[in-house]
Amino acid sequence: MMRAMATISILVAGCADSRTVDGTRRCATAAECESIHPPGIADPASPDFHGILLPSLGWNLASCATCHGADFAGGKSGRSCLTCHDGGPTTCTTCHALPPPTGAHAAHGYACSECHVMPATWDAPGHLFDGHGGVIARALVVFGPIARTGGATPTWDGERCSNNYCHGAATPAWNGGANEAPCGSCHAVPPSDAHHVNPRCGECHGRVVDDQAHIVNAALHSDGKVNVGDDSGTCLACHPHPGGAHAAHATAAHRIAAPIGCVTCHRVPTSVHDPGHIDHPRAVVFPDGPAIWNATTGQCSNSGCHGAATPSWTGSPVVCGSCHGIPPADASHAPTLRLQDCAACHARSIDASGQLLPPPAGKHLDGVVDAP
Ligand code: HEC
Ligand code: HEC
Ligand code: HEC
Ligand code: HEC
Ligand code: HEC
Ligand code: HEC
Ligand code: HEC
Ligand code: HEC
Ligand code: HEC
Ligand code: HEC
């Protein structure tokens, strides 16, 4: 971008022809000789320091190039800018860091393009210069897609943001510090709706927060998408591997019974928001009885399956003898009966070696006593 050259007040006019420009070399021309800077040009403590003067000169780097070379390597001045500015003075980080340490930059992990138009080069229109050669005095904030999620119409008034998707109804001040966006300022924690009764966020938003509402992956938070479970959109999204004895029941690992479906112990929703599903602080077990689940002790009772036993959901696996005696102590069973003897009367459930027959052929624990 070329513009009418601003008055270069950093140059001292009127020196004599004999004066050297750099202490070793003589001035080639009178014009060059007239172009010597005030002494403070390279002194950051001086008001004449070029870093301070350049903004007031409308960022006229083209004027510098006339003497320091188009590549800023020295040109006819013999003084290179590259000795101090590695990549040359027009690289992005000469004038500001990416991002600058100002305002709430550090707190926002977003791409610059979510709040600014990123210039491809330092002199791209809209960055330092407008399309008419004028100098833009202040950074332009132009919101990207995330702030506009859901049709929001975000605004920046030079001090605060408002109407944006990210902050909801809040209007945080850019220079206000960390207290501008505490947990709860953009949305309640948890939001006050019917599917937010369970306080352990991690059970449904595990990719974003843990159960104590600490953000575990900021990149997925306030990114324009509500993350639910593993985001697969399926029932398994939030409970791919429920804990406790779920696996033992679901896979019938011990071959004591056929696999036991969710419906044996839970009301199974057909959609996430079905009544009775996530509208409780904890999972509902045995909603229709007669079995009883004690969430405090973590034990089942009156289950039919476990007889008089009250197994712990997270305790040791059950074994022969934990639900009924081997043999049961009743009139039908002599106390001396061994496992190998059971098949004589319970052949549909157990074989002559004392092994339960695997379901579905085997009839053990199917709710019906397989008796002679
Ligand atoms: C008319 C020629 C001319 C122009 C235009 C010019 N300079 Fe210089 N500059 C020189 C010369 C010659 C020197 C050598 C030192 C001295 O005698 O001042 C120099 C030295 C410098 C130095 C000190 C370098 C060092 O190694 O210590 C800086 C910094 C500098 N110029 C910045 C600028 C900037 C920024 C611009 C544009 C705004 C600019 N100059 C425009 C001729 C020029
Ligand atoms: C002696 C070392 C030195 C030389 C040579 C030098 N600079 Fe600098 N320049 C600096 C320092 C130091 C800063 C301030 C950096 C900072 O604040 O982080 C600076 C800052 C700048 C800035 C940023 C100004 C701002 O307000 O953000 C520009 C642009 C710049 N120099 C251009 C030039 C040009 C063009 C030349 C060559 C003509 C040049 N510099 C030569 C040391 C130098
Ligand atoms: C969440 C929005 C947001 C993001 C993301 C963001 N900025 Fe900014 N930026 C601002 C605001 C607001 C200002 C202040 C503008 C003003 O003062 O009018 C600003 C100002 C600036 C300024 C002007 C100097 C200053 O410190 O005020 C620069 C340079 C800048 N941003 C660069 C960047 C770069 C580079 C990135 C990406 C690494 C970035 N910004 C990311 C919002 C953002
Ligand atoms: C010569 C100094 C200079 C260079 C080089 C420079 N910038 Fe900037 N940049 C500024 C200043 C100063 C602002 C603040 C806005 C203003 O004053 O016009 C700014 C603002 C920005 C902003 C905030 C949005 C805007 O345009 O106002 C972004 C983003 C940015 N710069 C990115 C870059 C990138 C990327 C590069 C390299 C391609 C770059 N800058 C090179 C001086 C510079
Ligand atoms: C029992 C499951 C569950 C738990 C636990 C849960 N959420 Fe949600 N959350 C959801 C569902 C489902 C949505 C809606 C997703 C959709 O709109 O499709 C949602 C959406 C949200 C939204 C987006 C705005 C809204 O109201 O829809 C926020 C914010 C949110 N949850 C925060 C939290 C926080 C904070 C916690 C912990 C204090 C939490 N959630 C715990 C299931 C849960
Ligand atoms: C700057 C505003 C803001 C703040 C502060 C904020 N949130 Fe959010 N949060 C959102 C937005 C916007 C969403 C909507 C979903 C999205 O875009 O990721 C969201 C969604 C969520 C979700 C749903 C999962 C997801 O990300 O999709 C949880 C859980 C959540 N926030 C927890 C928290 C917790 C815990 C805190 C405090 C540590 C917090 N939020 C602070 C803006 C915020
Ligand atoms: C044998 C009974 C039983 C079966 C079968 C069963 N569950 Fe559970 N489920 C429980 C018990 C007991 C809890 C523990 C509740 C608590 O901690 O308060 C539970 C808890 C849960 C929880 C809450 C999170 C957790 O791990 O504690 C989810 C989700 C769940 N079950 C889903 C399922 C799904 C899906 C199925 C089918 C694949 C299933 N359950 C099969 C008994 C069962
Ligand atoms: C948003 C995450 C999420 C999704 C998606 C989800 N569940 Fe759940 N589900 C939970 C949580 C969390 C619990 C246990 C705690 C509670 O009620 O908040 C639960 C509990 C259950 C239970 C135990 C009984 C109960 O309702 O308390 C079953 C069964 C169950 N879910 C099945 C399903 C099925 C089937 C689907 C698909 C239609 C599904 N879930 C989708 C989070 C989810
Ligand atoms: C001589 C025949 C006979 C033999 C051998 C036999 N049972 Fe039984 N069993 C019965 C009869 C009859 C019933 C049904 C009447 C009842 O409930 O007492 C029964 C019922 C059962 C029941 C269900 C009722 C309860 O009391 O819990 C279990 C469990 C059982 N038997 C286990 C065994 C085991 C284990 C063995 C081998 C160690 C075995 N039985 C050997 C005749 C036999
Ligand atoms: C989880 C509790 C439980 C465990 C563990 C258990 N049983 Fe049973 N068993 C039952 C119940 C309940 C019955 C009653 C009839 C039914 O539902 O099949 C039964 C019945 C039986 C019967 C009578 C035939 C029948 O199927 O009705 C035999 C024999 C038997 N069990 C043997 C065993 C052996 C051998 C083991 C160890 C490998 C074992 N049981 C482990 C609960 C259990």
Bigger pLDDT: 99 vs 372: 99
Span 103-114, mean pLDDT?
Answer: 94
Q: What is the pLDDT of residue 173?
A: 96
CA atoms within 13 A on the CB side of 81: 21
Taking the C-alpha atoms of residue 267 and residue 281, their distance in angstroms, rounded to an integer, is: 15
pLDDT at residue 251, as a whole number = 82
Tens of pLDDT, residue by residue over 258-268, are 888 888 999 99
Q: What is the pLDDT of residue 312?
A: 94
Any atom of ligand 3 within 6 Å of the Cβ of 100: yes
**Ligand whose nearest atom lies closest to the CA of 23:** 1
Confidence of residue 4 (pLDDT cuts 50, 70, 90): very low
Asked whether 103 and 111 are in contact (CB, 8 A), the reply is no
Q: What is the sign of the dihedral through the CA atoms of 359, 360, 361 and 367? A: positive
Give the C-alpha separation, 88 to 95, whole Å.
11
* 100-108 contacts at long range (C-beta below 8 A, 24 or more positions apart): 102/175, 103/174, 103/175, 104/172, 104/174, 104/175, 104/176, 104/180, 104/181, 107/178, 107/181
pLDDT band at 149 (very low <50, low <70, confident <90, very high): very high
* Ligand 2 and 81: CB distance under 6 A: yes
Ligand with the closest atom to the CA of 149: 6
Q: Which residues contact 104 (CB under 8 A, 6 or more apart)?
A: 172, 174, 175, 176, 180, 181
For the chain, state the CA radius of gyration: 38
The pLDDT tens digits of the residues spanning 26-76 come to 455 555 555 478 888 999 999 889 999 999 889 999 999 999 999 999 998
Q: Point out the ligand 2 atom lying closest to the alpha carbon of residue 55.
A: 26
The mean per-residue pLDDT over the stretch 160-166 comes to 95
pLDDT at residue 12 is higher than 80: no
pLDDT at 351 over 80: yes
pLDDT given for residue 50 in this prediction: 94
Geometric angle at alpha carbon 89, from 88 and 94, rounded to 5° = 110
State the sign of the Cα–Cα–Cα–Cα dihedral 344, 348, 351, 354: negative
Share of the chain above pLDDT 70, in %: 90
The distance of Cα 217 from the centroid of its chain, to the nearest Å, equals 3
Is 60 exceeded by the pLDDT of residue 24?
no
- The closest alpha carbon to 183, from 152, 215, 148, belongs to 215
pLDDT tops 80 at residue 3: no
Which has the closest alpha carbon to 307: 298, 315, 318?
A: 318
With a 6 A CB cut-off, is 333 part of the ligand 3 pocket? no
Cα 88 to ligand 2 centroid, rounded to whole Å: 9
Q: Which residue has the higher pLDDT, 243 or 140?
A: 140
* Ligand 10 lined by 356 (C-beta under 6 Å): yes
Which residues does 141 contact at the CB level (< 8 Å), separation at least 6? 115, 116, 156
Q: Report pLDDT for 194.
A: 81
262 lines ligand 7 (CB under 6 A): yes
> What is residue 15's predicted lDDT score, i.e. its pLDDT?
42
Identify which of 246, 277, 313 to mutate to test ligand 8's pocket (most ligand atoms within 8 A of the CB).
277
Is a pLDDT exceeding 70 seen at residue 257?
yes
Which residue lies with its CA nearest to atom 18 of ligand 10?
Answer: 365
CA-nearest residue for atom 21, ligand 10, is: 364
Residue entry with tokens 């001396």: 336
pLDDT in tens, 186-231: 999 999 888 898 989 999 999 999 999 999 999 999 999 999 999 9
d(CA 249, CA 251) in angstroms, rounded, equals 6
To test the ligand 4 pocket, which listed residue (3, 50, 52, 95) has its Cβ within 8 A of the most ligand atoms? Answer: 95
The angle formed by the CA atoms of residues 206, 252 and 289, to the nearest 5 degrees, is: 75
Higher pLDDT, 258 or 154: 154
What confidence score (pLDDT) does residue 28 get? 55
275 preceded by cis ω (within 30°)? no
pLDDT for 319: 87
**Mean model confidence pLDDT for the chain:** 87
Cα gap 95→89, rounded to integer Å: 8
Work out which ligand 2 atom sits closest to the CA atom of 61.
Answer: 35
pLDDT band for 355, please (50, 70, 90 cuts): very high
Question: Which of 93, 94, 115, 222 most suits a substitution to test ligand 3, by most atoms within 8 Å of the C-beta?
Answer: 115
Is the pLDDT assigned to residue 120 strictly greater than 50?
yes
Q: How confident is the model at residue 372 (pLDDT cuts 50, 70, 90)?
A: confident
Mean pLDDT of 123-137: 91
Residue ID of nearest Cα to ligand 1 atom 33? 64
With contact defined as beta carbons under 8 Å apart, do 285 and 203 qualify? no
Least confident of 23-37, 115-129, 130-144: 23-37
Residue with CA at minimum distance from ligand 10 atom 36 = 320
Cβ atoms < 10 Å from Cβ of 317:
11
Choose the weakest-confidence range: 10-14, 154-158, 256-260. Answer: 10-14
Which ligand is in closest contact with the Cα of 36? 1
Mean pLDDT on 241-263? 86
